[in-house]
Amino acid sequence: MAAGRLTARSDADLIEASKRGDLSAFEEIYAAHAGRMKSIAFHLLADRADAEDAVQEAFLKIYRAAGAIEFDSGLAPWIYRILLNCCYDTGRKRQRLAESPLAAEPAAIPNNVPLQMAIRHALGRIHTQHRMVFWLFEVEGFRHSEVAAILEIPEGTSKKWLFEAKRELKRLLTESCP
Amino acid sequence: MTFDCKDLERALAVPELLPDAREHAKVCDVCRRELWLWGEMSAVAPGLREDWETPDLWPNIRQTLVAQQQAAKPRGWRGSFDWRMIAGIAAALTIAVSIFMMKYSRPTPAPGTPRDSDFLTEQTLKEVEQTEAAYRASIDKLTRLAQPRLSAAENPVAVAAREKLLVLDSEIDSMRSAVNHNRFNTQLQAGLAEMYRDKQDTLKEILQRAQ
């Protein structure tokens, strides 16, 4: 996984210290995860200010609920589950989740755009859950076991949804570029 | 095996078939392009990641947390004045209670009899647990009403709501487990109540949307 990932032991230490009110320990958790959290939040909300609000709300909830964390599946899945929850809240409050450029049905993909832009465009047209798995696995670099823990689905389902996402994307991309 | 264009999809799902697919792609432009695209999607995907500077984000979070910590602590400086006042009141109360006890002393309660302070804490806990039971009853009722609408709908908002409820249920389970180990912890109880409120609000919103 990407740089900044913490070991299970240090996760536990940092959470324990955070529970005692040690904000420098909590800042380490922030430093390790905030970048990726902003990216995921932006993917869901399509707005940087909303994404920052969701990440801030997530960290406040994480700090408040630190006493309840169970380390069975590690700190990261728990953190990202809280983030997704905050994004859904922010999206519902501001009515942007359903209307975002990624979630809305866009027009056909122009056939002269670079592949990366075309993929971004096509992602808005594929199944929500498949898109989320594609984003977490291919864009953010989580392993299938981590995606499964974050989305609370079996690991096999994560693999299946990734395949479906890529198949849908391939279809959309080849349709647009005959 | 004779590999045909129609086998390509299966080959993408089964890595063992990929060498055959690559052989076939040497003589088939369409499959060559699809194979290239399949690999290229993974190669370019990390570039979709959004990254931007947010120098104010951590200071904002830290400031909020510090404010919350201070609000939870006893008041600071005004303490020196308040403390003297409180100490005076406490001393006066101690004297009054001592006189009262000497005058109307009762036999010592049997061991195991709850003291007043324990009783008050138990009483508060009982009220919290009654409130929790009321939340759960309300949530069960709302869930029964919202379930048919939730499971039928496939729009992004319904999918998001379903996912949120799953996440909330998991958080509530974790928090309940923590509360069961430490029933008198006010913060845990408050956290659990907030999650119940969140779930209740989410269910209400689903029902309002459906109307």
Lowest mean pLDDT among A112-121, B46-55, B95-104: B95-104
Cβ-count burial B6-36 (b if 16+ within 10 Å, e if not): ebbeebbeeeebeeebeebbeebeebebbbe
Lowest mean pLDDT among B16-30, B101-115, B116-130, B138-152: B101-115
Note the pLDDT of residue B139. 80
Q: Is the pLDDT score of B201 beyond 70?
A: yes
Angstrom CA distances, B97 to A176, B45, B101, B118, B133, stand at 87, 74, 6, 19, 38
Residue type, B164: K
A108 CA: distance to closest CA in chain B (Å):
18
As a whole number, the mean pLDDT across chain A is 83
Cβ burial of A105 (10 Å; 0-12, 13-18, 19+) is: exposed
Q: B48 to chain A: which residues are within 8 Å by CB?
A: 116, 119-120, 123, 135, 139
B69 with A21: Cβ contact below 8 A: yes
As a whole number, the mean pLDDT across chain B is 76
Contact between residue B127 and residue B189 where contact means Cβ atoms under 8 Å apart:
no
Residue A18 half-sphere exposure toward CB, CA atoms < 13 A: 25
Of A92, A105, A12, A6, the C-alpha closest to A45 is A92
Radius of gyration, CA atoms only, chain A: 17
| Contacts with A100 (C-beta within 8 Å, 6 or more apart), sequence order | A44, A45, A46, A47, A91
Mean pLDDT of A44-51: 92
Note the pLDDT of residue A105. 45
Q: Is A139 on the interface with B (CB under 8 A)?
A: yes
Give pLDDT tens digits for B63-120.
999 888 777 665 444 444 455 556 666 666 767 666 666 655 555 555 554 444 434 4
Please state the ipTM of this predicted complex.
0.81
Residue of higher predicted confidence among A151 and A96: A151
Residue of higher predicted confidence among A33 and B141: A33
Note the pLDDT of residue A8. 46
| pLDDT band for position B146 (cuts 50, 70, 90) | confident
A5 CA: distance to closest CA in chain B (Å):
17
Note the pLDDT of residue B83. 54
Angstrom CA distances, B92 to A53, A67, B71, B78, B191, stand at 51, 40, 29, 21, 38
Task: Report the predicted TM-score, pTM, of the whole model to 2 decimal places.
Answer: 0.60
Which percentage of chain B shows pLDDT scores above 90? 13
- Residue of chain B with shortest Cα separation from A2: B46
Note the pLDDT of residue A3. 40
